[in-house]
Amino acid sequence: MKKIGFLGMGVMGLPMASNIVKGTGQSILGFDVAEAQREAFRQAGGTPVDDPVKIYKTCDVILQMLPTHAIIINSVEQAIRYGKAGNIIVDLSSTAPDIIQDLYEKTAAAGMYLLDSPVSGGNPMAIEGTLAIMTGGDRDAFDAVEPILKYMGHPVYTGGAASGDITKLVNNLAAGAMLVAYCEAYAFAAKAGIDLQTTFDATRCGFVGGPLYDNKIPMIIRRDYTPGARVAVHRKDILNVKHYAHKLGVDLPMGDVVLQVMDWMNDNGHIDEDQAAMVKYYEDKMDVTVGSNTWESPSPARLQ
């Protein structure tokens, strides 16, 4: 049986790692820089360690959900340094394709495998174990870890190295455009003076509806910006999109609009709030307040 380790147990990483513990029924090693997250992992049945080197040295499959390129690169390089040939490193983070290509070559030279395997769905789907998982790299490595990935969601093999991260860029470019459109539309609705809950009820079963709409619009209506997915993380993906588009020699006009809104969020101190908070950009531009923190979420029966 392969020994599994998980690095980075934040808002999404912790439920993902916990689902692997529940699914496999085996002792999974886990590391996070925050002691509270390590303790939460222990409560979920995992085996926290206080030094990631213990994972690099002892695990056959190393999964990582890390926040920045510098941390991602360092983690993979440490896994190469301390690990052994045949190990499979699964990067669940959203990483720039060119960085993954470079790291893939380094792991291959060490006789290891690197899968770029970014996820989509935010904290709610991470908890439910229903994330979309887009995995690039060697097919035999994917086949070996697919059963593990299935405990977190729905893995799809996308092709060679970096194809998973490129697929994620496609996903987050489209999602970013949708989120910005939602925020603009509901700011417009508020400015026009119509009831936002009625607007949601009337539109959610039409073409505009879907999981993202159902998740984010109630947050906008009740002004709840508790991060399920932070603007900061999504902005990193949009910057990666822009960088890769430049390499391809193409323009992304919609991506420019999304980045403009996210840059405003960054400049105005809202970058660590949920993506739903991007409505604040339109509140500022339209001089309107959208929603109310006294709004109560409808009962599950109402949402059937």
Residue tagged 């790291």 (tokens): 103
What CA–CA distance (Å, rounded) separates 217 from 194?
A: 15
Q: Are residues 66 and 38 in the same domain?
A: yes
Q: Hey, is 7 helix, strand or coil? A: strand
Q: Are residues 154 and 220 in the same domain?
A: no
Listed residues 134, 160, 186: the one ending a domain:
160
Q: Hey, is 123 helix, strand or coil? A: helix
Closest CA to 5 of 26, 33, 34, 36: 26
Catalytic residue, candidates 57, 106, 168, 216:
168
Q: Is 168 noted as a catalytic residue in this protein?
A: yes
Return the H-helix or E-strand segment holding 162.
none
Listed residues 160, 193, 213: the one ending a domain:
160
Q: Give the per-residue pLDDT at 296.
A: 62
CATH number for position 191: 1.10.1040.10
Q: Are residues 175 and 244 in the same domain?
A: yes
Q: Give the per-residue pLDDT at 301.
A: 36
Summarised one tens digit per residue, pLDDT across range 239-253 is: 999 999 999 999 999
Percent of the chain residues past pLDDT 70, beyond the cut: 97
- The terminus-to-terminus CA distance of the chain in angstroms comes to 42
CATH number for position 69: 3.40.50.720
Q: Residue 295 pLDDT > 70, yes or no?
A: no
Q: Are residues 122 and 232 in the same domain?
A: no
Summarised one tens digit per residue, pLDDT across range 108-158 is: 999 999 999 999 988 889 999 999 999 999 999 999 999 999 999 999 999
Q: Give the per-residue pLDDT at 80.
A: 98
Q: Are residues 187 and 145 in the same domain?
A: no
Q: Residue 298 pLDDT > 90, yes or no?
A: no
Summarised one tens digit per residue, pLDDT across range 7-40 is: 999 989 999 999 999 999 999 999 999 999 999 9
Section 212-216 average pLDDT: 95
Average model confidence (pLDDT) across the chain = 94
Q: Are residues 229 and 286 in the same domain?
A: yes
Q: Are residues 18 and 138 in the same domain?
A: yes
Q: Give the per-residue pLDDT at 123.
A: 86
Domain that holds residue 194: 166-303
Q: Are residues 294 and 228 in the same domain?
A: yes
Summarised one tens digit per residue, pLDDT across range 172-207 is: 999 999 999 999 999 999 999 999 999 999 999 999
Q: What is the tally of structural domains in the chain?
A: 2
Q: Are residues 203 and 239 in the same domain?
A: yes
Q: Are residues 134 and 243 in the same domain?
A: no
Listed residues 160, 175, 190: the one ending a domain:
160
Section 68-74 average pLDDT: 96
Structure tokens at 26: 């085996």
Work out the burial of residue 151: count CB atoms within 10 Å of its CB; fewer than 13 is exposed, 13-18 middle, 19 or more buried: middle
